[in-house]
Structure 1
Amino acid sequence: MDLALRVGELMLAGGETAEAVDRAIGRLGRAYGLPHAEVNVTLAAIGVSYLPRGGRPPVTAERRVRRRLPNYARLAAVHELVRDAQEQRLPLRQARYALSDIIGRRPAYPASVQVVALSLIGAAGAVLVGGGPVPALAAFAAALIGDRTGDWLARRGITDFFQMALAAAIGTLVTVLLVAGPLDVRAGTVIIGVVIALIPGRALVVSMQDGIAGDLVTGTIRLVEVLFTITAILSGIGAVTYLAARHGLPVSPTDLPTVPSSFAAPQTFGAAAIATAFAVYHLVPRGYLPPIALGGAVAWTAYVEIRALEVPAAPATAVAATLIGLLGTAFARWRRVPALICVTPCIAPLMPGSLMYRGMLQLSAGNSARGALTLAEALATALAIGAGVYIGGELLRVVRPARRVLRRRPV
Structure 2
Amino acid sequence: MTPESDEFAAMEAALRGGHEPGVGGEAYITMDLALRVGELMLAGGETAESVDLAMSRITRSYGLPHCEGDVTLAAVGLSYLPRGGRPPVTAERRVRRRLPNYARLIAVEDLVRAATAKRLSLQQAKFALSDIIGRPPPYPHWLTVIALSSLAAAGAVLVGGGPLAAVAAFVATLVGDRTGAWLGGRGIAEFFQVAVAAGIGSLVMVLLAWSDVPVAAGPVIVGVVIALIPGRALVVSMQDGIAGDLVTGTTRLVEVLFMIAAILAGIGAVTYLAARLGVPVPLENLPQAPSSFGLAQWSGAAAIAVAFAVFHLVPRAYLLPAALGGVLSWGTLVEMRHLDLPAAPATAIAATVVGALGTAFARHRDVPALVCVTPCIAPLMPGTLMYRGMLELTGGHTGQGALILVEALATALAIGAGVYIGGELLRVVRPARRVLRPARRIRT
TM-score after normalising by structure 2:
0.91
Cα distance in structure 2, aligned partners of 1:399 and 1:315: 23
Which amino acid in structure 2 is aligned with residue 181 of structure 1? S
In 2, Cα distance between equivalents of 1:5 and 1:250: 53
Aligned to 2:42: 12
Q: 1:328 aligns with which of 354, 358, 370?
A: 358
Question: Where do residues 222-371 of structure 1 align in structure 2 (5 Å cutoff)?
Answer: 222-371=252-401
- Structure with max Cα Rg: 2
Residues 66, 82 of structure 2: 8 Å contact kept: no
Query: Any idea what SS the aligned residue of 2:90 has?
Result: strand
Partner of 2:126: 96
Q: Which residue of 2 aligns with 1:201?
A: 231
Secondary structure in structure 2 of the residue aligned to 1:98 = helix
Give the distance between the partners of 1:278 and 1:243, measured in 2 at CA: 32
Matched residue type, 1:298: L
TM alignment of 1:110-259, pairs within 5 A: 110-259=140-289
SS in 1 for 2:183: helix
2:238–2:253 Cα contact (<8 Å) kept:
yes
Q: How does 1:381-396 map to 2 (within 5 A)?
A: 381-396=411-426
- Per-residue Cα deviation, 1:137-185 (whole angstroms, up to 9, x for no partner): 0000000000000010001000000000000000000001111111222
Q: What is the alpha-carbon distance in structure 1 between the residues aligned to residue 155 and residue 73 of structure 2?
A: 30
Partner-residue secondary structure (3-state), 1:182:
coil
Q: What is the CA-CA distance between 1:379 and the residue it aligns to?
A: 0.1
Q: Structure 1 residue 255: deviation in Å?
A: 2.3
How far 1:263 moved relative to its partner? 1.5
Partner residue, 2:14: none
1:253 is displaced (CA, Å) by 1.7
Q: Which runs of 5+ in 1 are unaligned?
A: none
Counterpart-to-counterpart distance in 1, 2:305 and 2:177:
19
The alpha carbon displacement at 1:218 in A equals 0.3
SS of residue matched to 1:401: coil
Deviation at 1:355, TM superposition (A): 0.2
Deviation for aligned residue 1:301: 0.4
Backbone CA RMSD of aligned residues? 1.0
d(CA) in 1 for partners of 2:323, 2:285: 30
State the identity %. 74
- Residue 72 of structure 1 is matched in structure 2 by 102
User: 1-side partners of 2:350 and 2:66: how far apart?
Assistant: 39
Equivalent-residue separation in structure 1 for 2:298 and 2:201 (angstroms): 23
Q: Which amino acid aligns with 1:312?
A: P
Give CA deviations for 1:47-96 in whole Å, capped at 9, x if unaligned.
Answer: 10011001111111111111100100000000000011111111111000
- Structure 1 residues 83 and 177: CA distance shift in structure 2, 3 A: same
Mapped to 2, the partners of 1:158 and 1:33 lie a distance apart of: 45
Aligned to 1:106: 136
The answer for unaligned runs of 5 or more in structure 2 is 1-30, 439-444
1:172 and 1:37 mapped to 2: Cα distance?
51
Question: Given residue 348 of structure 1, which amino acid in structure 2 is its aligned partner?
Answer: A
Letter in 1 for 2:257: L
Shift in alpha-carbon separation, 1:370–1:52, aligned structure 2, 3 A: same
- Map residues 19-98 of structure 1 onto 2, 5 A cutoff: 19-98=49-128
1:407 & 1:110 partners in 2: Cα distance?
A: 32
Runs of 4+ in structure 1 deviating by more than 3 angstroms, as ranges, are: none
Matched pairs, number = 408
* Distance in 2 of aligned mates of 1:404 and 1:88: 15
